[in-house]
Amino acid sequence: MFWPPSERTVGEAYLRDDYDIEGDLAAAAGLADLLISRFSSPQTLLRLALLMRTLPRDDHVIEMEPAGTGAGGLTPSGDTHSKERDAEVIRYHYDVGNDFYALWLDARMVYSCAYFPEGTEDLDAAQTAKLEHICRKLRLQPGERLLDIGCGWGGLILYAAQHYGVLATGITLSEAQATLARERIRAAGLEARVQVQVRDYRDLAGERFDKIASVGMFEHVGRAHLQQYVAQVYTLLKPGGLFLNHGIVIAEKTVSPSPLERLAGLIWREKTFMQQYVFPDGELVYTHEVLAHAERLGFETRDIESLREHYALTLQHWVRRLEARHAAVVASVGETGYRIWRFYMSGCVWAFNTGRIGLSQMLFSKPDARGRSGLPLSRADLYRSSSDDQ
């Protein structure tokens, strides 16, 4: 059942319904981690291995289910992070169906870490607060050109155009996302100011933007392509412009793998559960790696904010909403699809809460020829109340 011993086999056993967990799945992940940490000696590991071999064996292959769930996982083709392969893996994750994501995301369908100023906000309020927080950090002004790399269903570009008067362009590799985003743009009457393109960021040439945002996208870039990604943003950004990069990172001080995990990693070299079933080719990097590439190119680091706890809260909202709509989710992606998403998001709650991974929101300026950043001397403007604008 749990052989070879890894988080992937534990997850796959859950997908097959070999076992079930009632209540808080994230708390169960913490219990599993505690138990694994206790197996430290070779004798204990051997005894555990023998016991695990006595568990019921299930050779059932997880099959694909209706509605393009990708329930059997994906083995992408081509070179890792080539344009063609990136398009394939993005379609795998994001083209599951807009109706599926609408079941558990907020009304704007913002699929990234929300912002909880007080910690008591509901999901819709927290996602709106996140969009406002980003717009303030970018110091958006009417008439400026904003680029959103990995724009999803258009939440940020629509908000920025409506509340800050910018001319916004969003790019995505998902046709499903682009279709719904364009519908929302038309419904808002913003076709003249907001556009969405199905386009790879590497294919943008000859364009210049005053401000650029990348929210929950650079996890798909990969360490080997990180310098190219930052260099492309630098080229696209006008002198005096600002770039906000928001994404999941590896914690600088990560917990060392247990002896059991190290042994399993040496013997069975396999993809993680997330790589196989959720984010093929996804790869996290350290915050300092992004900073080093950015500053080497000429960016100036102006602000770094950790939103780790905010992502744990966001995921808790998503899991509760997913569980509350169980029947509708199963109708959309099947029971296996439901279990993939519940296991994945619950595991991420635990990973963020325990500091295994983090969320860094980084703001960079591209000084103009005279060294001007275009930023105020303090961060006070980020935290003004809405009444201050009236």
Q: Which residues are catalytic?
A: 348
Tokens representing 67 are 């509605």
What are the b/e assignments for 230-242, b being 16+ CB within 10 Å? bebbbebbeebbb
Cα 71 to Cα 66, 134, 287, 336: the distances in Å are 9, 34, 32, 6
Q: Please, are residues 242 and 299 in contact by the beta-carbon 8 Å criterion?
A: no
How far apart are the C-alpha atoms of 215 and 171, rounded to whole Å?
Answer: 12
Q: What are phi and psi of 78, to 5 degrees?
A: 85, 180
How far apart are the C-alpha atoms of 118 and 116, rounded to whole Å?
Answer: 5
How far apart are the C-alpha atoms of 390 and 387, rounded to whole Å?
Answer: 5
Q: Please, are residues 140 and 146 in contact by the beta-carbon 8 Å criterion?
A: yes
How far apart are the C-alpha atoms of 217 and 220, rounded to whole Å?
Answer: 6
